[in-house]
Structure 1
């Protein structure tokens, strides 16, 4: 490899592979630290700029993200420095697991602690992975099967007692806010945080749902699972806010095939071809569980081909 980031044997630029490595490394951060799905973007921009300068000092890539948390203008700035991006099992249309965790908490395993709903409720990334109301996959169990409208409406969360609004989570709030002695004040702060997180989640989903065509030279590739029963629909008890999975469909056990595609046929009259706002160049389905997608030999073979050998 020479100083410009070019493999001398294959004569292909390596920035694409480098970007994928950085994207996977940095974009895992919000899932581990429970940050917002957008908060890793400045870190990714900094690392990418440093790496690009090291490999090609005559170029000056800039990926600008507003520091106030607002969304930048969608002008595809920086696309000249990225050839291919590989998305692996992304919950583009949300995951029912996100709703279950916010309502019931998460029990990871016998050797790991239980994460109560109020604690999960402080994780912005989980709200961003909630299902879309328009797809009608969350319904009331009152007999009519009416869709639950406004899944990101703070009033709904307070009425149902979900997450930070759960009155039974007072002891958890006491641990989260040890410097606030009054229970009423702790609940007030918790509900205020929940409102802000839900608002940010709505902004995140709105931005993701905007149709956009990738500029020439940039290809977006999707890898997803489609062979395991995956939670698809849930019912909500309007009396106590309890949530129950009532339907499953093809996916990787966590993320639905339709969610990875952001398939807008869900909740609409059936048609044979996928309708999605995301401009995928290539889609590959693997019959594996979510965490095993990247361990599959077929994944490794194809991702290396896409990034290194596939003619541009």
Structure 2
């Protein structure tokens, strides 16, 4: 079990949970590290192919003009830490900062999640961060561009499960989940008042079995895997909000593999299988473990309902999804009733962490009808890439598309503002 889950799920729960303990901004000039190094072992076949391949074409005139465009009309970009660590060399955050700096962005900022808070708690931190940053930039732009109205909005680059935070913030702003554990925050798109575009990369919109496996694993974590910043997955409230829905993956009993999927948001299921905070040894060491488990699962179901609710976004909002389908990704697990041990029963296309169905939040569940993707998320565009998670950030074509969406693709609000598509 250790070998299987180390290979497939190592670090999956770290995506959101292992960020810095505080929100920070990092100017682009200070966070533009070198691009991630390639493979240490030279591949002679690849080397010859690269020699034979034509040179990568330079940017076209239109993109060069877009890159030179600056000032209040260019949205500042906030890059979220994917969660592996807060080191600038991480390809998810540091690499994005460099790529965007190369695209002419001078207003680049970094947001790190607090692993001790749940996703709505981090949304409240994000709102405080964006509101303060907006006030600073408005003052700066008013001095630099006195004749221009500065209605500042941000674009977000959100890799991995930080995309869940970005989506929650768009819909609910900095609202926390109601304390009763049942009712929902007001879906008024208040976060859209500060945000225009969001780039999501491999986000498990319908959850991931990888996080679940880390939470209930009965062996020690792989020592080579990234560590949670002192916060075990089973003790983090945000981890429960990443548990999969039906398209994120299912768990069944090994003696009834074709039976109904287990309800992973039911405390009784966790108690029956002695998972995580329901493990008797954990409860013996922590008197409030059972109480916290019940609270985390109740709020996770509440969060899931809030994220599942379909809603038409405002005109200024555009969501772009990049999803990999190059790695078989666990989509169904079996659990032994006696031991609680897990095994992989099925795989689905994905990037090794999120299945394609989870990333798109396609609720058809493998059914042929209706013939179109059915998602509560109104995607502006979905780009499928034949890659695994880490390979997104090494792909030139990926960054070409990211730059195009951020620099040149207008939202409906921007079409009206700049009188685009008019005679």
Which position in structure 2 is the counterpart of 1:281? 380
2 CA distance for matches of 1:288 and 1:276?
23
Displacement of 1:74: 1.1
| Residues 112, 78 of structure 1: alpha-carbon distance in 2 compared, 3 angstrom cutoff | closer
Displacement of 1:9: 4.3
Which position in structure 1 is the counterpart of 2:195? 82
Which position in structure 1 is the counterpart of 2:339? 240
Which position in structure 2 is the counterpart of 1:109? 223
Poorly superposed stretches of 4+, deviation over 6 Å: 60-63, 111-116
Which position in structure 2 is the counterpart of 1:4? none
* Residue of 112, 117, 120 corresponding to 1:38: 120
1 CA distance for matches of 2:331 and 2:195?
34
Displacement of 1:21: 5.8
The question of 1:148 aligning with 2:232 is answered no
Which position in structure 2 is the counterpart of 1:65? 174
Q: Conserved in 2, the CA contact under 8 Å of 1:230 and 1:253? A: yes
Which position in structure 2 is the counterpart of 1:92? 205
Which position in structure 2 is the counterpart of 1:177? none
Q: Aligned residue pairs: how many?
A: 288
Displacement of 1:54: 2.3
Residues 1-312 of structure 1: pairs in structure 2 closer than 5 A: 9-10=68-69, 13=72, 16-19=75-78, 25-26=110-111, 28-30=112-114, 33=115, 35-57=117-139, 65-66=174-175, 72-104=185-217, 107-110=221-224, 119-133=232-246, 137-143=250-256, 145-167=258-280, 169-170=281-282, 183=284, 186-266=285-365, 268=367, 270-311=369-410, 312=415
Which is worse superposed, 301-310 or 236-245? Answer: 236-245
Displacement of 1:264: 0.5
Q: Which runs of 5+ in 1 are unaligned?
A: 1-6, 174-182
TM-score norm. by structure 2 comes to: 0.60
Q: Which runs of 5+ in 2 are unaligned?
A: 1-65, 83-92, 94-109, 140-149, 154-168, 416-423
1 CA distance for matches of 2:124 and 2:244?
26
| Residues 229, 270 of structure 1: alpha-carbon distance in 2 compared, 3 angstrom cutoff | farther
